Each structure stands twice: as structure tokens, then as C-alpha cells.
Amino acid sequence: MKSLLEGKRVFEQETIKGTRYLLVPENKIEKYKYLACHLLIKKGDFEYPRRWIRYTDIPFEEAIVPLDTFNIDDYEYIILPDFSLEEGLKEVFEENGIDTDPFYKGLMKFEKIPVNLQALIRDALERSEGADDWFEEHKLECFTYQKDGKQIAIALTGDPEIHDVKYEYTQKFLDKRVVKRYFIDSEKTKELISLRDKEDIEFHPREEWFVLYSETDNNSFFILENVYDVEDIIPFVNFVLTYEEDKSQLDEEREKRRKQREEEAKRKEKEPERGMSYRPSHRIF
């Protein structure tokens, strides 16, 4: 299993069809700032609302910014707007025929914000800033890939609700070993793999079966999905066996462990029973 996972991390993802595991190249996972639903105003841009950066109504891929290119000091305001403007500001906007969109899209009718509105808007922005205390700490680890000419990003850590990636299971799979591998399609793009715990050497092991495949043309990452009741159909299909673990090594390991158990049992037999040594009693008259 180590060779299959070399240079990769494994994440569990819940989908409509059930649980699956993403095998993602570690060197392709990057850290990002997640800016969805935020309004950012760079220093010097306050008076020019058309320069404000609004991360609203956009795909996830456009709402993430690589952490190494994001400098919080470049911005005068970073806010998470509420569902509506403050009541006082809303009334002023309505009186001046300005749309009351909470992302201040109504101000885009102006090249430059009218002077009589600037102080009022600044006050509202400054009160909104404190509503997002977690912003500086909040980061995502994401993996991006191309599919049908489109860039797709998956959030792996930082917020499990975005793409239903709940846990990392890299170590769980490193603690398993591959028993058998089959190609199950003529193009040799899908494999059937059976896994068992590294320490499991019983004659009737508890094996898990998975289908291994990729959703991308260049195999930028792979997916493992559990399948069940596979052993009974294998003799009746044209799956191509590409690997099977050496059973003779398992026999040797079983024999080695049997001898260890026997030696341990003999050693215990020779040990004197604790707490049973004779101690003379004394009578007190």
C-alpha cells in the first residue's frame, strides 16, 4: 500500500452515492484564503466603489486566493456583509436613489463616492469589520485540477462543509497492505483492489475491496470506492490479475508467530507463581 500512496494524502469524502476516498498528490495541495461572501477594499480605493472587490455570487474556484499571494496589509477594509445594510444607511441610500444591496453594489453608479456619504459609509464599514474575527486564522488546504478544460478545486481541510471532506485517512491506509489487484476494464483505467490490515495474517482475513479510478484524463488524482460481495463474481468475469501477495511469506510469518507463542507459554510455566512464597507465621500470646 505504501507504493500506491507514495507522495499522496488520503481524504474521506461523502457523496450522494456514499463514501469515497481521494488519493491526492501531497505536492499539489496548497493553502488558500477563502474569501466567499467577503467585501475587500484596498488601501486608497475607498472613494472608488468600482474598485472594491466583491466575492459574492461566484464559483468556489474564484473565491479562493493562494495564501502566499494574499497580503492582509494591502487592504483598508475586509468585511463580511450582513444580509442588509444598517437601517440608517439604508434610509439614506433609498432617499438618494441608491440600491441597498449589502455589498454596496448601488455605489457602483458613482465613479467616486459623494463627499456627503463618505463618513456615513466609513462608519458602517468599520462597524462591520469586527463581525469576522476568525478571518486571519481561517485557511483552507485545497487541491485543484483540470476536467473538461475547466479548473476545479476541492477543499480538503479547513471547512468540511464546502465539499463534504470530513477526515484525513492517510495513516489508516498506510496501515494496510494490498492483497490483490485486477484490471476490470479493457482500457485498463479501473482497478479492483483488496486490502487487509498489515498485521492480519489469518487464513480467513477480513479483506476490504475497492475500485480504484481517476476522474481526470491525466490521472492527476485517484479515487477509492468501497465495493462489496466481490469474491463470488471474480471467477466469472474477465478481470486481469496484475498482483497477488506472496502467500509463502504469510506461511512463514504464521509459523514464526506460532513458535513465539509456544516459547512465551513455556517461559511463563517456568516462572514461580507470584505471591505464593512461604512466610513463617508468628503467634502473639
What are the grid coordinates assigned to 4, written together?
500506491
Burial of 115 (0-12, 13-18, 19+ CB in 10 A): exposed
pLDDT at 127 (0 to 100) = 87
Model confidence band, residue 138 (pLDDT cutoffs 50, 70, 90):
confident
Q: Tell me if 81 sits within 8 A of 103, measured CB to CB.
A: yes
> How far out from the chain centre does Cα 117 lie?
44
Residue 283 has pLDDT above 60, yes or no: no
- Listed as own residue / partner, the contacts of 3-7 with beta carbons closer than 8 Å and 24 or more positions apart are 4/178, 5/170, 5/173, 5/174
Name 78's Cβ contacts closer than 8 Å, sequence gap at least 6: 38, 39, 40, 41, 72, 129, 132, 135
CA gap 203, 258 in Å, rounded: 14
pLDDT at 205 (0 to 100) = 64
Model confidence band, residue 235 (pLDDT cutoffs 50, 70, 90):
confident
pLDDT at 164 (0 to 100) = 96
The full DSSP string for 177-211 is EEEEEEE-STTS--EEEEEEETT---SS---EEEE
Which tops the pLDDT comparison, 184 or 272?
Answer: 184
User: How many CB atoms within 10 Å of residue 247?
Assistant: 9
Which tops the pLDDT comparison, 185 or 210?
Answer: 210
From residue 24, how far is each of 160, 169, 173, 182 by CA, in Å?
16, 12, 13, 22
Cell 469589520 sits at which residue?
129
Least confident of 82-96, 201-215, 254-268: 254-268
Q: Percent of the chain scored above 90 by pLDDT?
A: 56
Residue 60 has pLDDT above 80, yes or no: yes
CA gap 122, 113 in Å, rounded: 11
Name 35's Cβ contacts closer than 8 Å, sequence gap at least 6: 55, 63, 64, 65
Model confidence band, residue 130 (pLDDT cutoffs 50, 70, 90):
low
pLDDT digits (tens, 9 = 90+) for 150-202: 899 999 999 899 999 999 999 999 999 898 999 988 888 899 999 988 877 77
The partner residues of 12 in beta bridges, in order of sequence, read 21, 167
